[in-house]
Amino acid sequence: MRIALFTETFLPKVDGIVTRLKHTVDHLQRLGDQVMVFSPEGGLREYKGAQIRGVSGMPFPLYPELKLALPRPSIGESLEDFKPDLVHVVNPAVLGLAGIYYAKTLRLPLVASYHTHLPKYLEHYGLGMLEGLMWELIKAMHNQAQLNLCTSTAMRSELSDHGIERVEVWQRGVDTELFRPALASVEMRSHLSQGHPDAPLLLYIGRLSAEKEIDQIKPVLQAIPGARLALVGDGPYRAELEKHFEDTPTHFVGYLEGEQLAAAYAAADAFIFPSRTETLGLVLLEAMAAGCPVVAADSGGIPDIVTDGVNGYLFDPVDEQGAVIATRRLLSGQTDREALRHNARAEAEKWGWSAATQQLQGFYQAVLAELAMPLAA
């Protein structure tokens, strides 16, 4: 198959969507498919054999890390040269509109996938009154696709409840070869804890943005005697978070990659994840693959991954003490943390990127077969 992939975010940006797309493109190419990626300009021309067509854009005012890449005629010219069998739009917003338009114009099958829970993000930027309008826009775009994919059963139900049709779950994936417990080290633990490797070490990895609710980790940190917190990543909310945590033993580590990132997960005692807006929470799977028990909000797609008391702990995000109580349970002497680590790793091992991409191939082939049937008749 020849697949034109339109995405509002791609390399060199770092986030869960980019991680999924990197592995997807890599495995599709390995399986013999050809992929052309249309994304905001990032300097890349090729990735794992796939062609990258960067489209210039402008920073989004509310989230400067996100570029708004406006559709232009050169996209149509590239598509006509590439001759795709199918168009896949990822989180269609601005550039995704070009994917939808050209799929219709060139009479190509269209698949859309939903990864970022934008309607729920709005409240964190003072725009909660626009949630209904956002759902209508999402519905208008996604219902033009022959198939809509999302990343958890909870999101499938929510999308369906809001009128989005033909929704299936695109299974989760994680690199279990990179993220592994064996990478735990005193050196990384000392680095994350700023020279206090014997202290309880709490960890967050991901975007430093308002919708992640990272500020909610502060009461947890303060409730655990001697605990240290490491925040790995960066984002538009970093300055606010530095001020919020300035009177605590919190280390703003910045970005880590590759085995350093995997070693950070493996070194921590608990991965704290308070976000209520996750469609999946890929970082949770990475933590679990590294054998790090998680404490996460019982919301969105997270319960698809975390089983309370088995491979981590869930808490009610409405309960102000929920995360504190869950973390105390995890770190208490009565909890068998080795069993939690083992169970977390065992859950992650079920979900490799190869299987997730083969499932995606199956979705593509089903859409192509469905559209070919009237012609065959």
Q: Do 37 and 169 share a domain, yes or no?
A: yes
Q: Do 10 and 47 share a domain, yes or no?
A: yes
Mean pLDDT, rounded, for 85-109: 94
Q: Backbone dihedral region of 4: left (phi > 0), alpha (psi from -120 to 50 degrees) or beta?
A: beta
Asked if pLDDT for residue 128 goes beyond 60, the answer is yes
Mean pLDDT, rounded, for 354-360: 93
Q: Do 137 and 8 share a domain, yes or no?
A: yes
More confident site: 192 or 94: 192
Asked if pLDDT for residue 377 goes beyond 70, the answer is no
Q: Strand 201-205 relative to strand 228-232: parallel, antiparallel, unpaired?
A: parallel
Is the model's pTM score more than 0.85?
A: no
CA–CA distance, 255 with 234 (Å, rounded to integer) = 6
Asked if pLDDT for residue 250 goes beyond 70, the answer is yes
Domain containing 142: what range?
Answer: 2-173+352-376
DSSP one-letter string for 290-320: TT--EEEES-TTGGGT--BTTTEEEE-TTST
> What CATH number is associated with residue 269?
3.40.50.2000
Q: What integer pLDDT is reported at residue 119 of this predicted model?
A: 63
Q: Do 165 and 230 share a domain, yes or no?
A: no
Q: Do 263 and 128 share a domain, yes or no?
A: no
Q: What integer pLDDT is reported at residue 253 of this predicted model?
A: 98
Q: What integer pLDDT is reported at residue 124 of this predicted model?
A: 60
Q: Do 187 and 261 share a domain, yes or no?
A: yes
Q: Do 237 and 308 share a domain, yes or no?
A: yes
Asked if pLDDT for residue 129 goes beyond 80, the answer is no
Judge contact between 332 and 224, C-beta under 8 A.
no
Q: What integer pLDDT is reported at residue 376 of this predicted model?
A: 46
More confident site: 286 or 131: 286
Q: Do 214 and 165 share a domain, yes or no?
A: no
Asked if pLDDT for residue 337 goes beyond 90, the answer is no
Strands in 86-90's sheet, in edge-to-edge order, are: 46-47, 50-55, 34-40, 2-7, 86-90, 110-113, 147-150, 167-169
Instruction: Kindly report, residue by residue over 20-30, the tens digit of the pLDDT.
Output: 999 999 999 99
Number of domains forming the structure of the chain? 2
- Which residues have C-beta within 8 Å of that of residue 326, sequence separation ≥ 6? 295, 313, 314, 315
The alpha-carbon radius of gyration of the chain (Å, integer) is 21
Q: Give 150's pLDDT tier (boundaries 50, 70, 90).
A: very high
Asked if pLDDT for residue 87 goes beyond 70, the answer is yes
More confident site: 300 or 100: 100
Q: What percent of the chain has pLDDT over 70?
A: 93
Residue 306, phi then psi, degrees to nearest 5: -100, 125
Residue 230, phi then psi, degrees to nearest 5: -115, 125
Mean pLDDT, rounded, for 306-328: 94
- Which residues have C-beta within 8 Å of that of residue 226, sequence separation ≥ 6? 196, 199, 200
Q: Do 224 and 285 share a domain, yes or no?
A: yes
Q: Is the CA virtual torsion 62, 12, 18, 55 positive or negative?
A: positive
Asked if pLDDT for residue 60 goes beyond 60, the answer is yes
Q: What integer pLDDT is reported at residue 14 of this predicted model?
A: 81
Q: Do 124 and 207 share a domain, yes or no?
A: no
Q: What integer pLDDT is reported at residue 121 of this predicted model?
A: 62
CA–CA distance, 270 with 324 (Å, rounded to integer) = 12
Q: Do 260 and 247 share a domain, yes or no?
A: yes
Q: Do 265 and 122 share a domain, yes or no?
A: no
Residue 190, phi then psi, degrees to nearest 5: -65, -40
Q: Under DSSP, is residue 211 helix (H, G, I), strand (E, B) or coil? A: helix
Instruction: Kindly report, residue by residue over 160-191, the tens digit of the pLDDT.
Output: 999 999 999 999 889 999 999 999 999 999 99
Q: What integer pLDDT is reported at residue 266 of this predicted model?
A: 97
CA–CA distance, 203 with 191 (Å, rounded to integer) = 12
